[in-house]
Chains A and B, each alone.
Chain A
Amino acid sequence: DTAVSQTPKYLVTQMGNDKSIKCEQNLGHDTMYWYKQDSKKFLKIMFSYNNKELIINETVPNRFSPKSPDKAHLNLHINSLELGDSAVYFCASSPQGNYGYTFGSGTRLTVV
């Protein structure tokens, strides 16, 4: 069983479209995260949720909206996609951050 699963793995879409990425973890962790990895491989946190409550909201455009229906799921919805949104998006989870995170396999988003 995959510990942290993201869908889809690849997403190609046109500018202006709205898309969602889903994430589910079966580890029983309380905290989930979204990270963005840019073309230079730099990883930056976008959001974190602890038991469905938003904890971290970095300086991310309002077009990005996370949703956590329960503590095992954290989805990312992106409105009005732009070329600059092209990146790999990683979901992760952790029981407590000091144990490190378990990452999903990433979603490569390409906006054309």
Chain B
Amino acid sequence: AQTVTQSQPEMSVQEAETVTLSCTYDTSENNYYLFWYKQPPSRQMILVIRQEAYKQQNATENRFSVNFQKAAKSFSLKISDSQLGDTAMYFCAFFLQGGSEKLVFGKGTKLTVNP
């Protein structure tokens, strides 16, 4: 079974600075997708970024970018120019194409952006 590990339960960063959240996963398959979701205090789950495993290029969405290291099975999220509204739980997730067909989540990292 695939597993997703987020080793940082909590992190904090000063407004306008850059922070990187770590995620590693375990799979022997090749055709999969990785995601980062944001859950602010409002409880809503928001898709931040998506990465296809077969693509070498790292995905970016405005201030959010990933560092995808397939051989190391690592998928970190970098948030640039942190804003107060970035304060949230961040979940890394894994989807195996043609496999279990379910999104498997890590335990999350609670990020606090300080003014």
A84 at interface by CB-CB < 8 Å: no
Taking a contact as CB atoms under 8 Å apart, the answer to whether A45 and B102 are in contact is yes
The A contact surface, by secondary structure, is strand
CA distance A86 to B45 in the complex (A): 19
- Size of the chain B interface, CB-CB below 8 angstroms: 23
A112 at interface by CB-CB < 8 Å: no
B75 at interface by CB-CB < 8 Å: no
Shortest B41–chain A CB gap in Å is 12
- Which residues in window 18-69 of B have CB below 8 A to A? 33, 35, 39, 42-45, 47, 50, 52
B77 at interface by CB-CB < 8 Å: no
Given contacts A43-B91, A98-B95, contact A48 B45 (CB under 8 A): no
CA distance A53 to B43 in the complex (A): 28
Q: Which of A12-20, A59-67, A70-78, A99-107 contacts B (4 or more CB under 8 A)?
A: A99-107
Taking a contact as CB atoms under 8 Å apart, the answer to whether A97 and B102 are in contact is yes
Given contacts A100-B50, A103-B45, A106-B43, contact A41 B107 (CB under 8 A): yes
Q: Which residues of B contact A (CB under 8 A)?
A: 33, 35, 39, 42-45, 47, 50, 52, 89, 91, 93, 95, 97, 100-105, 107-108
> Told that A97-B95, A101-B47 touch, could you supply 10 new A-B pairs with CB distance under 8 A?
A40-B107, A43-B91, A45-B102, A45-B104, A56-B102, A97-B97, A99-B50, A100-B50, A105-B43, A106-B45
